[in-house]
């Protein structure tokens, strides 16, 4: 069981940013969240700087409308921000979802590698060598740029 008792609004909001993501490697920006909320049917005006202040604890008493809008964006009930029991339950669900997404991503990566190997196996030896040479070049470029990430 997760224990979120004593967590600040900033802690809980930052946890949502860390766990509810557009993809495995990136989190939503404050600007993206603010713009999405402003475009939504809720009619709430919120800025990226206000979200930054909430995330950094500089502001800690948002209006109910702001909490509802943030909760709506991240797909959680508003109670997540104010009730420990709700936050515990939702945090546990978010952790399960994140681990499942990571597992699916890892499986997808493995499938890509298998597909590449299967296709390479159907090539002539000459063309397999060309593919390997190309992979070596791309690998060296990524190493030089420092862009390789674990799990990619």
Report whether 49 contacts 58 (CB < 8 A): no
Q: What is the pLDDT of residue 6?
A: 79
**Distance (Å, whole) CA 2 – CA 75:** 19
User: Which class is domain 9-108?
Assistant: mainly alpha
d(CA 19, CA 95) in angstroms, rounded, equals 7
pLDDT digits (tens, 9 = 90+) for 53-86: 999 999 999 999 999 999 999 999 999 999 999 9
CA distance 16 to 25: 15
> Of 3, 6, 28, 34, nearest to 16 (Cα)?
28
The whole-number pLDDT of residue 98 equals 73
Predicted pLDDT at 103: 74
User: Which residues of the chain fall short of a pLDDT of 70?
Assistant: 1-4, 102, 104-105, 107-115, 118, 147-152
């Amino acid at each position: 069981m997760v224990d979120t008792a004593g967590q600040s609004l900033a802690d809980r909001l930052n946890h949502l940013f860390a766990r509810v993501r557009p993809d495995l490697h990136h989190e939503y920006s404050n600007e993206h969240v603010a713009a999405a909320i402003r475009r939504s049917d809720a009619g709430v005006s919120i800025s990226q700087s206000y979200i930054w202040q909430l995330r950094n604890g500089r502001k800690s008493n948002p209006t109910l409308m702001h909490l509802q809008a943030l909760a709506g964006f991240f797909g959680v009930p508003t109670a997540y921000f104010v009730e420990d029991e709700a936050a515990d339950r939702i945090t546990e669900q978010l952790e399960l979802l994140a681990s499942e997404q990571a597992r699916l991503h890892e499986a997808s990566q493995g499938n890509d590698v298998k597909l590449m190997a299967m296709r390479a196996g159907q090539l002539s030896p000459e063309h397999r060598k060309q593919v390997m040479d190309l992979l070596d070049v791309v690998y060296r470029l990524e190493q030089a740029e420092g862009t390789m990430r674990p799990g990619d």
